[in-house]
Structure 1
Amino acid sequence: AYTTEFDIGDGPRLVSGSPIYIGAYPAYFLNIATAFSQILSPVQDLLHTELLLNVIVLLAFTATMGYLIFIMSQWGNKMNREVKKRTHEIQVANKSLSEKAIEMQKLNTDLNGANQKIKIAYENLKKHDKLQKEFVNIVAHELRTPVQSIMGFVEMMDLNPENRPKYMERLKHNTARLERLTADTLDIARIESGTFRLSKEKSNLKELIKNAIDDLTFTIHNSKRNNKLAVIYGKENEDLFINIDKSRIAQVLSNLLSNADKFTKNGDILAKVTKLNREKEIEVKVIDNGQGIDKEILPKLFEKFVTKSDIGTGIGLYISKQIVLAHGGRIWGKNNETRKGAEFGFSLPYI
Structure 2
Amino acid sequence: MPEAKGSEVDLLGPLVDGLAESVIVRDLGGRILLWNKASEALYGFARDAILGRPFHDCLEGSHPSALVRLERHLLEQGHWEGELKRSTASGEERLVEVRWTLLRGPDGQPVSIIEYGRDITRLSDIEVESRLQAHRYRNLFQAMAASFWELDFSRVRKMLGQLVHAGVEDFRAYFEAHPEFIDAAVAETRVVDVNDKTVMLFGANSREDLIGGTVSAFWPPESRHIYAESLLASVNRLPALSRETRLSTLDGRMLDALFTVCWPSGHHGRGTVLVGVIDLSDRVAAEQEVRASELRYRNLFQAMSTALFQIDTTRQRQLFAQLATRGVEDIAAHLESDPGFLNAYLDAMSVGEVNEAAVRIMGAKDRRELIGQPVSRFWPPSSLPVVRRSLVSSFRQHVTFEQETVNYRLDGTEINTLFTVNASPELRERNMVLVGLTDITERVAAQKALRQLQSEFAHASRLSMLGELTASIAHEVNQPLAAISTNGAAGARWLSRPQPDLDEVRTIHANMVSDAKRAADIIARIRAMASNKAAERQRLPPNQVVEEAVRFLHHELMAHEVDLHLALTGGLPDIEADRVQLQQTIVNLALNAMQEMKRAHCPRPRLGLSTLADNGELRFAIEDSGPGIPPEHHDRLFESFFTTKESGLGMGLSICRNIIEAHGGRIWAENIPSGGARFLFTLPFAR
TM-score (norm 1): 0.48
Higher relative CO (Cα under 8 Å, sequence separation at least 6) belongs to 1
- Compare CA radii of gyration and give the structure with the larger one: 1
